[in-house]
Copies of this chain bind each other. A is one copy, B any other.
């Protein structure tokens, strides 16, 4: 089987739909369950409510749970709301605990409480244990469906335990080892376990070089660690090293995608790009706050130029180069900003390297500034035949590039120092700051040397 693209899914669905309409439950189930849950979810998302209501009656809560785990997170709320409450509670109980918790966190408190009451005690206890962790921390993305063994067990006993737990566990490829006080003391991969002899003790075959994360650790750092160390799962512990849960690589891939989208959105000045924009109002609502902030910053820039109106009145041609100079400042600032934000994210920039980075950026600004400055001086001189105008624009570009490059690097570093996510210093924001800097330099110089220009 190839994976299915949108058209293939459409074709399959058209075939299955007949069975659904003709109430051929067995045919529908055979065809529908043949697909991977991801494809089931994609088809499901596109159906109108009346079709979805029929499908619920054809699938067990367990089967629907598998579908829900792959439905876009911002659509699940609506789906859960339309289900019969006791069916919904069963679906949530059958889902991976971490996914169920994600969904419950989106619902209002009363609804959550009622679902937890209907649900079997086992599932509701597991879910409650995860519900109170802060968003984007290890606690919020971990699951408590994992396999533990004791140091004193033999390999054979551990394997028997594993076979029994396998259907429920999120992963069985890492088995965590705890002592009598439930403290995490080791890990053994299934790879090593199947190679080991049956009568060996777990304490002899396990690795005690175990890497774990505290329950409050941020998800971005965890993703970075998982990628660096090539883990498939990471154990989560409290401050006394008790094993609380595990984080698996499939959840981390979602985190990576989300964080990348996040940084990208911020550089572009759009909040929350991940959710679907159903219509123009939804997307305008996400973009307007940024645009209005930038509008006011832009008015501020305008008021600064306004102070140089006398200069402009005398030498109108100065206005011609405003977008060039402001644009170059914005571009170079965004470059420096992006490099700094990535550097902070990947750990290249840390407290010990800040001064080195700033010196490097200043050097970069001087090199790009001189190159572009000389080029602009020549072009303006050839175009307008005015050497002073050429020098004015060229030197402004040069000074602007040096300052804008340093500002672009400095702003995220300072924000990071004050524990603010440096990615918030988005592209449009730094662009506007650099607009202002560049205009002050340009008109300041023009006003000072006006006698040369008007001659």
Asked if A306 and B291 make an inter-chain contact with CB atoms under 8 angstroms apart, the answer reads: no
Size of the A side of the interface (Cβ < 8 Å), in residues, is 119
Instruction: Give the 7 A-B CB pairs with smallest separation, nearest first.
Output: A280-B363, A268-B338, A260-B260, A319-B319, A298-B324, A284-B367, A230-B250
Q: In the complex, what residues of B have CB within 8 A of residue A3's CB?
A: 211, 213, 225, 229
B residues near A249, Cβ cutoff 8 Å: 232, 249, 253
Indicate whether A368 reaches chain B with its CB closer than 8 angstroms. yes
**Cβ–Cβ contact A280 & B166, under 8 A:** no
Given the contacts A162-B194, A194-B194, A2 and B211 also touching, CB distance less than 8 Å: yes
In the assembled complex, A216 has its CB within 8 A of some CB on chain B: no
Per-position 1/0 for A380-424, Cβ under 8 A of B: 000100000000000000000100000000000000000000000
Using A2-B211, A276-B348, A323-B323 as known contacts, say yes or no to A331 and B288 having CB atoms under 8 A apart: no
Q: Please judge, given known A-B contacts A256-B256, A321-B302, A327-B294, whether A350 and B6 are in contact too, CB under 8 Å.
A: yes
Partner among B190, B226, B321 whose Cβ is within 8 Å of the Cβ of A190:
B190
- Whether a CB of chain B sits under 8 angstroms from the CB of A309 is yes
Asked if A299 is at the interface of the complex by the 8 Å CB criterion, the answer is yes
Tell me if A330 counts as interface (CB < 8 A to partner B). yes
With a cutoff of 8 Å between Cβ atoms, the chain B residues found around residue A338 in the complex are 264-265, 267-268, 270, 273
Per the bound structure, the CA–CA distance linking A3 and B172 in Å amounts to 22
Closest to A256 in B: B256
Contact indicator B260/A372 (Cβ below 8 Å): no
Bound Cα distance A78, B284 (Å): 51
Cα distance A432–B229 in the bound complex, in angstroms: 42
13 A-B residue pairings within 8 Å (CB atoms)? A3-B225, A167-B195, A173-B191, A190-B194, A267-B268, A269-B335, A280-B361, A280-B364, A288-B368, A291-B331, A298-B328, A299-B324, A302-B323
Q: A8: CB under 8 A from chain B?
A: no
Query: Does A322 touch B at the CB level, under 8 Å?
Result: yes
Find out whether the CB atom of A326 lies under 8 angstroms from the CB atom of B326: yes
Could you tell me if A331 and B294 are in contact, using CB atoms closer than 8 angstroms? Answer: yes
A15 part of interface (Cβ distance < 8 Å):
no
The residues of B that contact A167 with a CB separation of less than 8 Å are 195
A320 touches B334 (CB 8 A): no
CA distance A167 to B209 in the complex (A): 19
> Which of the segments A24-32, A82-90, A310-318 contacts the partner chain?
A310-318
